[in-house]
Structure 1
Amino acid sequence: MTVLLVALGAALGAPLRYLVDRAVQARHGAAFPRGTVTVNVVGSLLLGVLVAIPAGPAVTALLGTGFCGAFTTWSTFGYETVRLARAGERRRALANVLLSVAGGLGAAALGYAVTRWAAG
């Protein structure tokens, strides 16, 4: 049953990641991977919220592992960082790393803190 929940969450998260990434990149151009940064930071925020609520293993499998796991993308982040560095765009590569890592950690912490505060 858990595997099916993970698969269902991933089936929703992966297409949404693609759509959000494409929408963000269409507005801002391809010079910097804003779409990937966006999905990774938003996914981290959602995971922070999820961790802060008393969710059972089924909800965690569906939303945490499945949805957030497919919505965020470590492999694309890595590829885009290497692509920027190889193209001589070292500042953009470094900015991608800093925004993705600090933004993701900050968003997860914010989601967790705000959810815990709101729960009282």
Structure 2
Amino acid sequence: MTLVAFGQLLATGLAGALGALSRYVLGHFIAERVTTAFPLGTLVINLTGAFAIGLVFGLTTEHVLNAALQSVLATGFLGGYTTFSTMSWEGVELLRGGSSWLGLLYLVGSLVSGLAAAACGLAIGRWL
């Protein structure tokens, strides 16, 4: 492994740790202020992350960001920040807890709105 490749690996790992810490802090911030069975914190995190990853890829497409920075931001920070597994688990818990419509709304709504957020971020990134 070259020194440059090791630096990229280290930067991506550190960015992932910062993304995970950001997710933790924002999730707790929202949970302390909004008391509901609906997993609003995870939804906000995943939608902002989907938008941001679209933005990063749009900016990379337009050569505002280089591929190395795209990797650190998208794979590292945003990979650590967003959480498909938690969304899936919370949706299953809503379904198992008897909130079938809310669980389905959450799961389908998360996927559809996440795709829309990523598309908006991509469009804005390419426009900038």
Does the alignment reach a TM-score above 0.5? yes
Gaps of 5+ in 1: none
CA displacement 1:9-48 (0-9 Å, x = unmatched): 1111001001111111222214100000000000000000
- Distance of 1:102 and 1:28 partners within structure 2: 23
- Distance of 2:91 and 2:85 partners within structure 1: 10
Cα distance, 1:99 vs structure 2: 2.3
Pairing partner for 1:20 from 26, 35, 42: 26
Amino acid at match of 1:26: E
Pairing partner for 1:112 from 113, 117, 122: 122
RMSD: 1.1
Percent identity reads 36
- Distance of 2:50 and 2:103 partners within structure 1: 20
- Distance of 1:59 and 1:43 partners within structure 2: 16
Pairing partner for 1:46 from 46, 52, 66: 52
Q: Which runs of 4+ in 1 moved over 6 A?
A: none
Secondary structure class of the residue paired with 1:31: coil
The structure with more radius of gyration: 2
Gaps of 5+ in 2: 1-6
Report 1:13-92 matches (<5 A). 13-53=19-59, 54=63, 55-92=65-102
Secondary structure class of the residue paired with 1:29: coil
Amino acid at match of 1:109: A
TM (normalized to structure 1)? 0.92
Tell me what 2:107 maps to: 97
Secondary structure class of the residue paired with 2:38: coil
